[in-house]
């Protein structure tokens, strides 16, 4: 891994978790602590992070938490289309899991007015959005708080799903491909995502077309873990063919 590529991955970790320690990053990337400090100095020079003793944290993260806003607002029109398509698969009486993320947040916005719906989520912003809706019961997991994604993660969040059975899961991802499978920037999320999948009868992966063919730092596993991928019409023909050839169910939101 080149120094530039490593710094990109380090920033992905910090962007996802809000902060990171030098000692943890050194173990994660299998380099020395002085090397990581140099990487963090470079990221600080670029205005991406703020260094502190023993690590660094994401710039503007405190403002985002105070305003209950997600950092990632890219491709929002694609995500809105995907969210609208998801409504076709949600029925009155369902118990669903909404994973944390910007696309799942768009789904939550469109659930207002639903009746007799139970939503389990690890996302603080989704819970606040739907918690006062009279027809929706909201249940939150426990876990460690990740400021940039306003989410709860780690083993305690995963343990919440033991013994729980739901009809549908709407799962987020940072990147997906046939080779890398489902990938995420943070290792702590993997146990939570897997526990969600195990708890659901049907798993819908919601991912805009820009995430297809990309991979993040940590792999959850093969695409066979999910039942359907809901994406937008921007998916490239070659990716569409790969999924079809491997009998992966695609739902296109137009």
CATH code, 22: 1.10.10.10
Residues 212/231, Cβ–Cβ less than 8 Å: yes
pLDDT at 97 over 90: yes
Q: Average pLDDT in the 67-94 region? A: 86
CATH of the domain at 223: 3.40.50.1360
pLDDT at 104 over 70: yes
CB atoms under 10 Å from CB of 230, counted, come to 24
Whether residue 67 is contained in a domain is answered as: no
54 and 88 inside one domain: no
**% of the chain exceeding 90 in pLDDT:** 61
**Residue 231 confidence (pLDDT):** 95
**Residue 210 confidence (pLDDT):** 92
Whether residue 88 is contained in a domain is answered as: yes
**Residue 64 confidence (pLDDT):** 66
Mean per-residue pLDDT of the chain: 90
89 and 138 inside one domain: yes
The single residue listed with the structure tokens 């499978």 is: 181
What CA–CA distance (Å, rounded) separates 184 from 178?
15
Q: Average pLDDT in the 139-147 region? A: 93
132 and 41 inside one domain: no
16 and 103 inside one domain: no
Nearest 5°: the CA angle 58, 59, 64 is 90
Number of domains in the chain: 2
Q: Beta strand pairing status for 151-153 and 144-146?
A: antiparallel
Measured between alpha carbons, how far apart are the two ends of the chain, in Å? 38
Averaging pLDDT over each range in 53-57, 206-210, 237-241, which range is the top one? Answer: 206-210
**Residue 71 confidence (pLDDT):** 60
Whether residue 64 is contained in a domain is answered as: no
Spatial neighbors of 99 by CB under 8 A, at least 6 apart, are 121, 122, 123, 169, 170, 171, 172, 193, 196
Per-residue pLDDT band for 67 (boundaries 50, 70, 90) equals: low
91 and 147 inside one domain: yes
Q: Which domain holds residue 23?
A: 3-59
Whether residue 188 is contained in a domain is answered as: yes
Tens of pLDDT, residue by residue over 159-206, are 999 999 999 999 999 999 888 899 998 888 999 999 999 999 999 999
90 or 53: whose pLDDT is higher? Answer: 90
Q: What are phi and psi of 136, to 5 degrees?
A: -125, 130
What CA–CA distance (Å, rounded) separates 104 from 125?
11
């Amino acid at each position: 891994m080149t120094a530039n590529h490593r710094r990109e991955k380090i920033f992905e970790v910090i962007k996802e978790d809000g902060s990171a320690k030098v000692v943890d990053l050194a173990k994660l990337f299998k380099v020395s602590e002085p090397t990581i400090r140099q990487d963090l100095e470079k990221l600080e020079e670029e205005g991406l992070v703020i260094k502190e003793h023993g690590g660094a944290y994401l710039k503007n993260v405190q403002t985002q938490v105070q305003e209950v806003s997600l950092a990632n607002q890219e491709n929002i029109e694609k995500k809105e289309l995907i969210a609208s398509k998801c409504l076709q698969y949600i029925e009155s009486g369902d118990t669903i899991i909404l994973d944390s993320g910007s696309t799942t947040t768009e789904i939550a916005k469109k659930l207002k007015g639903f009746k007799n719906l139970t939503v389990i989520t690890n996302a603080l912003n989704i819970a606040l959005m739907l918690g006062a809706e009279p027809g929706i019961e909201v249940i939150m997991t426990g876990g460690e708080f990740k400021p940039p994604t306003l989410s709860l993660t780690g083993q305690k969040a995963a343990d919440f799903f033991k013994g729980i059975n739901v009809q549908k899961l709407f799962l987020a991802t940072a990147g997906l491909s046939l080779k890398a499978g489902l990938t995420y920037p943070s290792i702590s999320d993997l146990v939570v995502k897997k526990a969600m999948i195990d708890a659901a009868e049907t798993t819908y992966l919601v991912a805009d077309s820009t995430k297809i063919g990309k991979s993040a730092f940590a792999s959850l596993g093969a695409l066979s873990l999910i039942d359907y991928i809901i994406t937008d019409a921007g998916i490239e023909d070659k990716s569409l063919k790969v999924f079809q050839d491997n009998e992966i169910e695609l739902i296109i939101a137009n």
